[in-house]
Structure 1
Amino acid sequence: MTADQQPFPPIRLLSSQPIPVTGGNGVDLRSERVREFLQASNLAPNTQKAYRIELERFIGWSNKAWINVTPRDLAQFKHYLKHQCQTRQGQPLSPAAINQALTALKSFYKWFQQAGYMSLSDVLPTAAVQFEKLGEPLPRHLSSEQMEVIFQAVTGDEDIDRRDRALLAVLTHGLRAEDVSALNVGNYDGIRLRFVRKKDKSDAIVPLRQAAREHIQAYLERRQGQREVLTNESPLFLSYDFRTPGQRLGYQGIYYFTKVRLGAVTGIPNLTPHRFRHTYASELVELGIDSLLARSLTGHRSEKVFERYIKGKRLAAAEDAFFRAIGEQ
């Protein structure tokens, strides 16, 4: 054998043992991968929170490392969600809740593969799992009569009253609650709001009705009259809660304003901030604005999702047209 004819190195057999779930220091590597995934993602804060809960739920159910999870495991996990998991009220999980858990896992495994933790040629364990079928969503837009009741409920001239009227004016232009909370004075130029949507980091320009502009102006003038120095970085909406006075109004504060305070006064059930978003989308279509232009105002990228928002309004309009046509209205 010459110097150039070296023997082949011995074949090394790879261990067939599962990859350990914890590292040498006892840290659960599965949770560490979840942390990395959420840090690398471009998800809105509420979506990040929901995904973390669902991924931790899976970790609590399975004792396998992420790389060792199989399609069969995912099928069994889905069965577990459907037949063994319950809400805090002791009810079975809804199809939408099950789909949220599956969506979190699908999104995680897509990142897991792209991040190099598994081969790009491997089939993802989530590839075969199917979403639950959802029924037709109930209309969530508010009627013109309900909107009139809501506007009439926000009266008074205290600081919080002026804040509430300005806040309601912005919510009725279709902004998500997390975007409203993040608004600064500098995002308002006297005519429109310019901001970056938290959900997808897209630029948004939302023109405001004159009445909305007047409510915002009245609120800001009240704050300036109390010697508050407003800068571009000042929060547009302040909290008047005794625990956080003068701080930025948070998502929970906006939710409390609509569902608890407005809901109690108006008697409208489940009056969440998002219902104003549905109502705004329906109003745009009713005004005859082209769907593409309307979606640029609401921030919907998907025509399918936008159609779901306005379906209830169209069904109601069709019913009204029918009764008018037969002379019963």
Structure 2
Amino acid sequence: MSSFQLDDCLNFRSNISVLLNITRDHLNRYDNNIENYIDSKFRIATFQKKEDIFIYNHDDPIIREGIKKYAIASHCIPFSMKEELHVGAYIKANKIFIRDQKNKEIYFLNVKDIPLIGDHNIYNIMASLIISEILNVKKESIISILLKLKSIEHRMEKISNINGVQFINDSKATNVNAVFYALKSMNAPIIWIVGGEDKGNNYVELIPLVKKKVKAIICLGNNNEKIINFFKNIIDIILETKNIKKAVYMAYILSYQGDNVLFSPACSSFDLFKDYKERGNQFKQEVRKLLYESL
């Protein structure tokens, strides 16, 4: 359920609901007030009754505060990558466990065996494992599926490696939090293509990762002033364009063997594209043209 859908709900009730994270997103819709957005997101829990189950990310500070603030009647089960919990899902020695109300600890799988990249995927999997346990799904059934998972299109999708430079399509990253996990999951130096229609973004949480990993920024959007002003004292090379072909070529010219070109916009696509899929497909098309020309 999106916050947009929850805004229009009066009687909706889910028996099992999950709240993965709350970040500064869609604030242009919520009078640039994150409290209004938090209210909207928490409706997925406040609509529930005492026999229902609410699963939430314990590592998200906004959600933890919301648990204290809102009247939630349902049974709350957390998951965490940072703490060993008394109840819920957690990671210990790089392995995912779930502990139930009777303090029984159930081992599921090793994080290293998960084929998807990024902490956001681990969080999704932990929430899914809690649900599978509640619904008595056989461990073997869900684990066999998890071990075969592949990245979805436009989300950390590796496109081509051109002369040692890896191009990655992350067009589905339409908010800062998604970019945070994309940057965090990568080790090699990054040329970051970013920009689009701003939704009240605050880039503060990206500063440590950008300082450590990003060597150049290419802004792709109609209005790049906010991004440029935010990072101009952090990154020496910041270029801008409204043309995705130029963005790809700029990134390639700036890159060296072993670098990553990450197309992770942090913004919606509607200033230059129909949607994130069209944006991602055009990026892939230009990368493949570049690959053909480099052969």
Shorter-chain TM-score range: under 0.3
Q: Which has the larger radius of gyration?
A: 1
TM-score after normalising by structure 1: 0.23
TM-score after normalising by structure 2: 0.25
User: Which is richer in helix?
Assistant: 1
